[in-house]
Chain A
Amino acid sequence: MSGRLRKNSKKKEEKIHKPSRATRLFVVWRKLKKSELAIVGFCIVLFMSLVALLAPMIMPYRLNDYRISNQPPSMEHILGTDAMGRDMLSLVMYGARISIYVGLGAVLVELAIGLSIGMIAGYFGGIIDEVLMRFTDVIFSLPTLLMLLLAVSMFEVRSIHLMLLIMGVLGWPFLARVVRSEYLSLREATYVEAARSMGASNSRIIVRHILPNILSVIIVLATMDIPWFILYEATLTYLGFGDPLSSSWGYLLQSGYPHMVSSPWIMIAPGLALVITSLGFNLLGDGLRDALDIKVRE
């Protein structure tokens, strides 16, 4: 599209009151606000993100003190202390950093792969689509946790970054399938035809014309996948395949296991944090899906 054409069309758009991006965001927010549960989810996600962001500043205790190991919850340590005399509340706060980082990081990796494959398969169709989708089906049919265990154990380094990379690399097939079906139907849309007739390149149509129209689907799917990645990280770490240097919630649970009977609070606090975080993301995802009126089709 040439600059002038674009300017003209923009003027026209204003005349017919096409909502601006901010307005559309506001409409979504208003719909989201109608569902109390979605708001609860939103608040939980916001709260956890803030805790994760500010953990080093708001952690009540920094050091461990062996004289106070395995203490039940009290006024000084409201979630108790662990076997090394560390304050559980501080540990759980710090753990939020890792969980949120893993969830967001893995989703970004997933988006990078799933979007590219879905876009290309859906837009170009034909043999490219066939090949890419067969490949997607194969990855999709592999049992995720088993493959994650296998992949993580293959590396001698245990690092949180590597883990989120592996989770993203194995987690994209569903997203790719949904994106593909959206592109498959939208590539026939009139506005795509119009763009093509004006000489827009394929990559421009894919990224500038179709992508903005399926953004809501992508946002919903990404929100719903974050808790999965967080739970997978916790599971892998609990099973002993985690980063030994990161005190994630899974790691706290693993270290609390031997003291399960004598000091159950070591295991309960990080577990509850996991439940609340993933519930928050799930509530928000459900709410967004309803607010944006999305039917995930394949």
Chain B
Amino acid sequence: MTMRDYLIRRIIVIIPTFLLITVIIFALIHLAPGDPIDIIFKGPHGGLSPEAKEAMIIEYGLDQPIHIQYFTWLSKLLRGDLGYSYINQQSVWEMMTLRIPWTVELMLTAEIISIIIAIVLGVIAAVKHHSIYDALSSLGALAGYSIPDFWLALIMMLVFALWLRWFPSSGHQTVGIAFATPFDAFGDHLAHLILPAVTLVIMWTAYLFRMVRSAMLDVLTQDFITTARAKGLTELIVVYKHALRNALLPVVTYVGYSIGFLLSGAVVIEKIFNWEGLGQLVVERTMVRDYPALMGLSIVVAIMVLVANLCSDIAYAAVDPRIRYD
């Protein structure tokens, strides 16, 4: 099989995967016990009169058989129509496009910083295997890995925002202040970014560090490293040019595959720091069971994950000549 065939095959596989995901998400929401209309309009809104309920059911097509509902939803979805919120009639797509940039900003910042830190620390730990530094940093990573993300976020908020008052505790801009220059506004925004970003960096660095370290340990025992050393190359070149390049391969794949995990972390962090991204939207809409919004959100997130996985598979296949496409 050539690289091109592999790519085509890999992309074709995405189609049934995507369809299966739409079925799962649809089923999860529609086959759950309870009538969505009843559930939404219970409680704070009070009950709904039978006529009004009837009208809602017809408006949202909930009187149709379930498979018809699914195909209607799917065909709209394929045309880019994610429907309208049950709660405030807002277009789901519009609602999301307002939030996506914030999530991307937060995730990219945290991701890039944690990749850099994890690689530096992971390489040192692997090179100094069995040293006190290795033991301490591994233990630190394990501790970081064991801390619940929401609790870490709360502690950061308590210490740095509420006690020390170094950084603001929520939102992404101070409300009600006229900034003299765009730089001031940007600085204010950065101050808001720091706490959620640092929380994510701690979590993800702990996660990636373990990965980099074990990949490096694997590579460092291989023959070509001995060869490189035997050729008289300096240790710096052996480690950073020969070993690291090869160790990065699994790390690259891993970063691609971990995007779902990263998004999960972002959901909680965004909620706690009131960062108005997709994650916060997810929690908000789950609270009120806004089904169209939740379906749209899950689909978009699932597509993001699928694309990220595809990219990392392609990157892996392109970079590693040893890979067999089967």
Contacts and interface: CB of A to CB of B under 8 A. Distances in A.
A282 B267 CA distance: 24
Contact of B143 (A156, A239, A267, A279): A279
B305 A142 contact: yes
Contacts, number: 129
Interface string B135-153: 0000100110111111100
Contacts of A137: 17
Contacts of B264: 143-146
B213 interface: no
Nearest to B263: A143
A231 B152 CA distance: 12
Given A146-B282, A150-B29, A240 B287 contact: yes
B260 A154 contact: no
A163 interface: no
Contacts of A241: 286
Nearest to B262: A143
Nearest to B18: A138
Contact of B162 (A135, A138, A153, A261): A261
Interface stretch (B31-39, B101-109, B113-121): B31-39
Nearest to A227: B146
Contacts of A134: 13, 16-17, 20
B289 interface: yes
A238 B150 contact: yes
Given A241-B286, A260-B162, A253 B33 contact: no
B283 A239 contact: yes
B318 interface: no
Interface residues on B, range: 35 or more
Given A142-B302, A143-B301, A143-B305, A153 B289 contact: yes
B267 A145 contact: yes
A156 B151 contact: no
Contacts of A278: 146-148
Contacts of A253: 150-151, 154
Given A149-B282, A153-B286, A274-B148, A141 B260 contact: yes
Contacts of A257: 154
A137 B10 CA distance: 13
A235 B148 contact: yes
A145 B266 CA distance: 10
B325 interface: no
A271 interface: yes
A58 interface: no
Given A150-B286, A275-B146, A279-B142, A156 B16 contact: no
Nearest to B151: A271
Contacts of A271: 148, 151, 154-155
B147 A146 contact: no
A138 B39 CA distance: 29
Nearest to B304: A143
A151 interface: yes
B55 to A, nearest CB: 23
B194 to A, nearest CB: 19
A153 B28 CA distance: 10
Nearest to B147: A275
B28 A150 contact: yes
Contact of B20 (A135, A153, A227, A286): A135
Given A135-B20, A271-B148, A275-B146, A154 B28 contact: yes
B61 to A, nearest CB: 19
B17 A239 contact: no
A147 B298 contact: yes
B297 to A, nearest CB: 8
A274 B263 CA distance: 22
B309 A141 contact: yes
Interface in A12-35: none
- Give 3 nearest A-B pairs by CB, closest first: A145-B264, A154-B32, A143-B260
26 contacts: A134-B20, A138-B21, A139-B24, A141-B21, A143-B260, A144-B260, A146-B263, A146-B264, A146-B298, A149-B267, A150-B294, A153-B287, A154-B28, A154-B33, A155-B32, A156-B34, A227-B146, A234-B150, A238-B150, A239-B283, A261-B158, A267-B154, A268-B155, A271-B151, A275-B143, A279-B143
Interface of B: 13, 16-17, 20-21, 24-25, 28-29, 32-34, 39, 139, 142-143, 145-151, 154-155, 157-158, 162, 260-261, 263-265, 267-268, 271, 282-283, 286-287, 289, 294, 297-298, 301-302, 305-306, 309
Given A141-B305, A143-B263, A155-B33, 9 more contacts: A144-B260, A145-B264, A146-B263, A146-B301, A149-B267, A149-B282, A150-B25, A154-B34, A275-B146
